[in-house]
Amino acid sequence: MSRFADYNINKITPYVPGEQPRVQKYIKLNTNENPYPPSPKAIAAAVSETNKYNLYPDPECRELTEKLAEEFSVGIENIFVGNGSDEVLAFIFQGFCEGGVAFPDITYGFYKVYSEIYNRTAEIIPLKDDLSIDYNDYLNVDKTVVIANPNAPTGMVLEIEDIEKILQCNKNNLVVIDEAYVDFGSMSSVRLIKEYDNLVVVGTFSKSRSLAGARIGYAVSNKYVIDDLNKIKFSFNPYSLNRATLAAASASISDREYFEECISKIISTREKFKLKLKEMGYLQTDSKANFVFVKHPYLSGEDVFEKLKDSGILVRHFKKERISDYLRITIGSEEDMEVVIKELSKLVDDRGNL
């Protein structure tokens, strides 16, 4: 820390991203990336944009906004795009959370970090013992509510009817539904934006569209919230999405066939993997995301994490109360998961030696 940093910067604990190994070759299942490459059409579109790098990109992201509007059957005035959903979430914490913000104790770590950096009072609400969200806890919080649905790292889903109850009881605050993992088998809340002006749905191209490295996120909400988000963006960095990224994102939406093929492969691998875990005696939440959240009744999470790492498999372990025995394992290719099953099964067999 320098002696020049503001008090507010000094006191924050930054988000710790999952390890991005540079040397050893791991089966990398620690940051919920998609095992399949982006659509070949997205790659071609991005490459062909690079010879226009002498020109600024479109600050209004018009083509992508139109594509997303069509995808969600809303108007272009209902769509905001940002540099990853992290940027979209940061703008929301910056611009709409004066009255405080409420979110679960076990959820996406960035919500706490954004609360700190933007000086927002955070009401942190414990998940139930089974690690699910109790919507009743959010009915009268009178703060901006932020819920990842499916939640991370549990992958568990809150039903749309329950989200609707939260929206009805919190009319003077935004309810932000972070749908980073929605495409892997749960229902989007986007259809509720016509009815509830306090709803913002946030999404990303990082998971289901294999574009984590390109950085594209979006928000769907009523026109006024979208105008506010654009006001923040245009007061900060109007060119936050580069030309190649914008082209890749638009082309990815157009290639529905490739998108659906990748999603269905991941869902099918996940379901097979969940079944195997169960057979081996591992306990898990009912994940509808591209990861599972799993522990063994007799094995320590940290030990399993280390053993897998020694075998060349990188997963995510959180040294956090209530979940320190769990591991979050991203769903990779069918072959990757077979290797993981083999290693996890060995650990159960050798458990006397751990």
Residue 54, burial from CB neighbour count under 10 angstroms (0-12, 13-18, 19+): exposed
Record the tokens describing residue 131, joined without a space.
């690690």
In angstroms, rounded to a whole number, what is the distance separating the alpha carbons of residues 303 and 170? 43
| Cβ proximity to ligand PMP, 152 vs 344, nearer residue | 152
Q: Which stretch binds ligand PMP (CB under 6 A): 47-55, 82-90, 241-249, 340-348?
A: 82-90
Q: Which stretch binds ligand PMP (CB under 6 A): 3-11, 83-91, 303-311, 323-331?
A: 83-91
| Cβ proximity to ligand PMP, 57 vs 82, nearer residue | 82
217 part of the interface to ligand PMP, by CB under 6 A: yes
Inter-helix orientation angle 256-279/334-349, to 10°: 10
Q: What angle do CA 199, 204, 206 make, to 5 degrees?
A: 160
Q: Give the x/- contact pattern for ligand PMP in 222-241, rule: CB under 6 A.
A: --------------------
Tokens 């009255």: give the residue: 99
- Size of residue set near ligand PMP by CB under 6 A: 12
Residue 71, burial from CB neighbour count under 10 angstroms (0-12, 13-18, 19+): middle
User: Using the rule CB under 6 A, which residue among 64, 141, 152, 182 binds ligand PMP?
Assistant: 152
| Cβ proximity to ligand PMP, 114 vs 196, nearer residue | 114
In angstroms, rounded to a whole number, what is the distance separating the alpha carbons of residues 77 and 226? 7
Q: Are 123 and 143 in contact (CB under 8 A)?
A: yes
Q: In angstroms, what is the minimal distance from the CB of 150 to ligand PMP? A: 8
In the DSSP assignment, the letter for residue 18 is P
Q: In angstroms, what is the minimal distance from the CB of 301 to ligand PMP? A: 19
User: Using the rule CB under 6 A, which residue among 33, 86, 162, 336 binds ligand PMP?
Assistant: 86
108 part of the interface to ligand PMP, by CB under 6 A: yes
User: Using the rule CB under 6 A, which residue among 57, 84, 185, 301 binds ligand PMP?
Assistant: 84
In angstroms, rounded to a whole number, what is the distance separating the alpha carbons of residues 202 and 328? 22
| Cβ proximity to ligand PMP, 147 vs 299, nearer residue | 147
Q: Which stretch binds ligand PMP (CB under 6 A): 79-87, 93-101, 186-194, 273-281?
A: 79-87
Q: Is the dihedral of CA 126, 128, 130, 133 positive or negative?
A: negative
183 part of the interface to ligand PMP, by CB under 6 A: no
278: part of which helix (H) or strand (E)?
A: helix 256-279
103 part of the interface to ligand PMP, by CB under 6 A: no
212 part of the interface to ligand PMP, by CB under 6 A: yes
189 part of the interface to ligand PMP, by CB under 6 A: no
Q: Which stretch binds ligand PMP (CB under 6 A): 84-92, 159-167, 263-271, 295-303?
A: 84-92
In angstroms, rounded to a whole number, what is the distance separating the alpha carbons of residues 103 and 143? 10
Side-chain-side CA neighbours of residue 267 (13 Å) = 14
Q: In angstroms, what is the minimal distance from the CB of 310 to ligand PMP? A: 25
| Cβ proximity to ligand PMP, 176 vs 225, nearer residue | 176
104 part of the interface to ligand PMP, by CB under 6 A: no
Count other C-beta atoms under 10 Å from residue 224's C-beta: 10
In the DSSP assignment, the letter for residue 22 is S
| Cβ proximity to ligand PMP, 74 vs 289, nearer residue | 289
In angstroms, rounded to a whole number, what is the distance separating the alpha carbons of residues 114 and 174? 16
Binding site for ligand PMP (CB under 6 A): 84-86, 108, 148, 152, 178, 180, 204, 206, 212, 217
